[in-house]
Amino acid sequence: MKTAQATREQEKVLLVGFGIRRRRLPVPGIETDSLVRESLGELGELARGAGADVAGTMLQIRDTADPATLFGEGKVKEIQREAAAHNASLVIVDASLSPGQHRNIERITGLRVIDRVQLILDIFAKHARSREGQLQVELAQLNYLLPRLAGRGVELSRLGGGIGTRGPGEQKLETDRRRIRDRIRRIAGSLEAVRRERELRRRARRGVPLATVALVGYTNAGKSTLFNALTQAGVVASSRMFATLDPTLRALKLPSKRRVLLSDTVGFIRDLPPGLVAAFRATLEELGEAALILHVIDVSNPRHPELEVEVEKVLEELGLEKRPRLRVLNKIDRLSENEVTALHAANGGVLVSALEGTGLDDLIEAIDSRLPVDPLVRREFHIPLADGRRLAAIRASGRVLDSKIRDAEMWIVAELPESAARRIGAGQAEPQASAAKP
């Protein structure tokens, strides 16, 4: 007997892209159909990540969207014929459909139809592991389904019957709007409790100079691979989009001997559903606490400048556009020597290959130098030789740049965090020129 999982893996889908012909293109020199085709290719990766067998693709570019069906009735009938030719049981539209458009396309084609938003929600439902992540996905799903209840009847109970039907837990989707809203309120309350717990933990962290460094980037930019390479955390790393969902925190020791918390977050994507961003507020609030944001970029992707813009849009939506950040240009192992040389000349970030471990030392040094919390200071200490405790504290807290014994004292020039310098005490600022040689 076939399981629901096996059914999902074997489900054949037809992908349909849609674009509006624009006079002013968002990316100069790139035609509208090129942008739509790239988005359609990304939709294919998402569909395969959900376990689909992509049987075929279609594309339409119009001057305006049809309010009833998005594509126009003639094109919708063509979609029906194409799906029948490929024996596809599901149509995935690379756009956000209104409830009316959704119902009309399903009525004309006689097939199940989902849009880009529902596909992303389905993938998130598949990968959520923690209770918090599951609640956040469920909240986003219910908010998405609420305006689509009318006219769907018992069809909404098709839990686990295919891609786009992973419903929110055990809640039956044919329940009325009142019960759905009640469930939404309960989940929102649970997530608010999570938010308060996270705030308490953050307050505890603020009591000590322990900064958070957050990894952000477009999905599949290699954030989890980089996170593993820096921390040996063993987080799942996969070429499939959204392979990891729940955030992870690990300690990282810097060359200055400061310790920071490195945070791996969910990847961003074009047209990330606003409801999903709102639902994941408790998780994304960790970004708001980050002292430094590492923007991980897949430089092997020829369109990476466009993807950087998409990430910046989400950061701006979260109010983090002014937060200190460091660009990490990942996957240089896929580039030629000339391309790597050109990137070095541009000096626009730190070049790394998380997969091969290239450039990681440079990245850690860059994090150490740019971290705004508990900045590094250079101090000169005159410590009695008998005071082994303070001498050991200096060596444990920072880097000794020079040391000499003079008049029963150890004269030490060290670079260490400001908080450590205060704890050790009595340090005096090093003179500017020949301070290393008293």
Q: Verify that 250 and 366 share a domain, yes or no.
A: yes
Q: Are residues 267 and 345 in the same domain?
A: yes
Domain membership flag for residue 194: no
Which of 331, 349, 370 is a domain's end point?
A: 370
Cα separation, 362 vs 327, in Å, equals 12
Q: What is the pLDDT of residues 310-368, one digit of tens each?
A: 888 888 877 888 889 999 999 999 999 898 888 887 767 899 999 999 999 999 999 98
108 in the same domain as 219: no
More confident residue, 397 or 409: 409
Range(s) of the domain holding residue 216: 208-370
The total of structural domains in the chain comes to 4
Assess whether 93 and 161 both reside in one domain.
Answer: no
Q: What is the rounded end-to-end Cα distance, in angstroms, of the chain?
A: 82
CA distances from 174 to 142, 150, 171, 179, 255 (A): 12, 10, 9, 10, 57
Same domain, 185 and 261: no
Predicted pLDDT at 5 = 45
Among residues 96, 124, 152, the one where a domain terminates is 124
Residue 300 lies in a domain: yes
The pLDDT confidence band at residue 278, using thresholds 50, 70 and 90, is: low
- Does an H or E element contain 376, and which? strand 376-384
Q: In angstroms, rounded to a whole number, what is the distance separating the alpha carbons of residues 166 and 329?
A: 36
User: What was the pLDDT predicted at 92?
Assistant: 96
55 with 119, same domain?
A: yes
Q: How far apart, in whole angstroms, are the C-alpha atoms of residue 152 and residue 173?
A: 10
Are residues 82 and 26 both part of a single domain?
yes
Helices within 50-130 (DSSP H only): 73-85, 99-109, 116-127
Answer yes or no: is pLDDT of 275 > 70.
Answer: no
**Which whole-number Å values give the CA distances from 286 to 24, 242, 277, 289, 318, in the listed order?**
36, 18, 13, 5, 11
Q: Which residue has the higher pLDDT, 273 or 386?
A: 386
Contact 355, 333 (CB under 8 A): yes
Residue 154 clears pLDDT 80, i.e. is over it = no
Say whether both 284 and 382 belong to one domain.
no
159 domain residue, yes or no: yes
Are 8 and 104 contained in the same domain?
A: yes
Range with top average pLDDT, 166-170, 212-216, 261-265: 212-216
Task: List pLDDT tens digits, range 179-197.
Answer: 888 888 898 888 888 778 8
Indicate which CATH number applies to the domain containing 240: 3.40.50.300
Contact 261, 252 (CB under 8 A): yes
- Domain end, chosen from 355, 370, 385, is at 370
- By percentage, how much of the chain surpasses pLDDT 70? 76
Q: How confident is the model at residue 287 (pLDDT cuts 50, 70, 90)?
A: confident
**160: nearest Cα among 309, 8, 324:** 8
Looking at the structure, tell me whether residues 335 and 225 fall in a common domain: yes
pTM: 0.70
CATH code of the domain covering residue 67: 3.40.50.11060
In a shared domain, residues 224 and 355: yes
In a domain, 35, yes or no: yes
Please state the rounded mean pLDDT for residues 276-291: 68
In 10 A of CB 132, how many CB atoms? Answer: 21
Q: Is residue 197 part of a domain?
A: no
Same domain? For 33 and 164 the reply is no
What's the whole-number mean pLDDT along residues 227-237? 74
User: Which is more confidently placed, 243 or 132?
Assistant: 132
